Amino acid sequence: MSKFDLRDISERLASSGDIEAVAFEFLGYLQANRSDWRASLSFYDVSRDALHTVYSRQGDQPVRHEVGLAVDRLPPRLVRKFFQPRAFSNAGGGRPLLGGLFQTSPCYEPDPLETPALKPLLPLDSPRSCVCLPLADHEDLIALLILASDRKGAFGRRVTDEIVPLKNVVTAALARHVYRSRRQTSSAEKQPGAVAEDVQKKIRRLDGEAAALAEQNRLKAGQIEALHRELEALEGNSGQYHGELEQVKAQLDALGEQSAAAAEHLRAAQVQVLDAVNRVADVQRTLGFMKEIFQVLGQEYDSDDLAPTVVTWFCEHFHVERCSLMLYDESKQTLQIGAYRGLDAGVAGKVRVKMGQGISGWVAHHRKPMHVQVRGDDAPVQHTHQDAYNSDSFISVPLVYGDRLLGVLNLSNKSGGVAFTDVDLDRATLVGSVLAMILGSREGMRRVAVPS
């Protein structure tokens, strides 16, 4: 459905005296109705199979230049659509049979790679939008209309559909002048009566087409008016529903807020449930580990081997990369490593820590566990970082049997560099108690064995 005033353009073109006047009037009408459009009209010579004359406008000034651009130099897809030789022509006369093709393919939009090939025909140097439309009278291609714009996406399907009726009116006007020019050129070869009859037939046919187009435009204008009245009626009826829609919107907003609050509570509950599930899983793992240790303690065992075994088991079960069991030498008031995991053997054998010195010495002296999750925690002693650690988190617990200090259990470098949790501290405390029981029992047995 065209938004152009076809009756107005028909009256303008009727007053145009020749092809050039029709072309400039048509281009001026297009550019006046769409300020961002630039248009050119390139005429086709079937005998040379080339576009020979290009009309355009620079502001209010008409511009004409000759190009002589052969069809085979145009983009291949455009040629196949509008100019394909032999495929759409009579084998004998060479007249193109493009009428049906133009009805099914009314326009062509070149892609950016094809635009340079159209440069001699373009009304703009580097358009962001471009569309080509053929002007054809039945089987004869008269000219190629090119519309260009600096605005991207300026020629959608709706726009081209609006241009087609206008293009048909202009085609009819151009065809009159083209046939008149041909008639004048071949007047010496025809009888005056035949020429006049041929002209009259073409004029009658063109007048009929113009009248049909005007009638179509009148009918479409009536349809638009009817749709406009229906739209006004619908707008009037919609007013009574506006209040109800506002109430529904308010209710929906309230429901949305309630849903958001419920969703937030649900997420918080899910987090708490997941945390509880993880804690239960941690407790079950700890209980399973302690169960294995007590099953071993219920059998005969070598106390010298059991403590290192427990250290190794603990590291493997709870993914701790570094663990050391330091034994207290009461006579020398020092701690030395008795069992370890993840330490260099040469270094472990030389370590001696005095009572109160460093982390292990502080824990032994005060007989209190120390748990640091991140650097900056309120801890009396921090890592010296003289060794390689994957995080700042560590655990150190004293081993006390009765009233006697037997050693210190140190944990660091949890797998993945994650921090030790309170659950890890509880595990270390349990294992420390078991190790203290094993070491204390061994010391007690030795004392019993030595005569007083």
* Least trusted range by pLDDT, from 140-149, 174-183, 321-330: 174-183
Give φ, ψ of 356 to 5 degrees: 90, -5
Average pLDDT over residues 326-354: 88
Q: pLDDT at residue 6 above 90?
A: no
Is the CATH number of domain 300-449 3.40.50.620? Answer: no
To the nearest whole number, what is the mean pLDDT of the chain?
81
Residue 427's pLDDT band, with cuts at 50, 70 and 90, is confident
**pLDDT higher for 413 or 294?**
413
In the block, residue with structure tokens 């009918």: 219
Predicted pLDDT of residue 89: 39
Q: Is the pTM of this model over 0.85?
A: no
Tokens for 370, please give them.
């120390």
Q: Exposure pattern of 54-70 as b/e (b: 16+ CB <10 Å)?
A: bbbbeeeebeeeeeebe
Residue 287's pLDDT band, with cuts at 50, 70 and 90, is confident
% the chain with pLDDT above 90: 17
Looking at domain 6-185, its CATH architecture is: 2-Layer Sandwich (3.30)
Tens digit of each residue's pLDDT (9 = 90 or more) over 224-267:
988 988 888 887 777 767 878 888 888 899 898 898 888 888 99
Predicted pLDDT of residue 148: 93
Tens digit of each residue's pLDDT (9 = 90 or more) over 172-191:
888 877 777 666 665 555 55
Predicted pLDDT of residue 198: 74
Give φ, ψ of 379 to 5 degrees: -125, 140
Q: pLDDT at residue 369 above 90?
A: yes
Q: pLDDT at residue 323 above 80?
A: yes
Q: pLDDT at residue 81 above 70?
A: yes
112 burial type by CB count under 10 A (0-12 exposed, 13-18 middle, 19+ buried): exposed
Q: Where exactly does CATH 3.30.450.40 map onto the chain? A: 6-185, 300-449
